Amino acid sequence: MQIDEPTEKRLLDCTGFFCPLPVVKTKLALESMKSGEVLKVTADDPGAKKDFPAWCSATGNGLIRTEERDGTFVFYIRKK
């Protein structure tokens, strides 16, 4: 089966930032993007693992893929 690889329009590096900065910066970054475009966010706040799925579900933006490598998370978010 072919998996649709998310191709990001923009990259947002939130490594080194604690809550609430990763989600707040994500919200601000998405403001300048078009509906359907994908934002790739990297974060190493341990809370991000639960925060991003919650934030995406509350805002209706699509969390299309999550990766975790050595304590750093990568989230691919498709703008609503």
Catalytic status, residue 19 = yes
Over its C-alpha atoms, the chain yields an Rg (Å, rounded) of: 12
Residue 41 as a binder of other proteins (CB under 8 A): the answer is no
| Region of 1-9, 12-20, 34-42, 70-78 interacting with other proteins (CB under 8 A) | 12-20
The CA–CA distances, whole Å, from 36 to 13, 46, 57, 74 equal 20, 27, 16, 18
Of 11, 13, 18, 19, the catalytic one is 19
Residues 63, 76 contacting (CB under 8 angstroms)? yes
Spacing of C-alpha 51 from chain mean position:
10
- Asked if 55 touches other proteins (CB under 8 A), the answer is yes
Active site residues: 19
Binding site for other proteins (CB under 8 A): 16-21, 23-24, 26-28, 55, 58-59
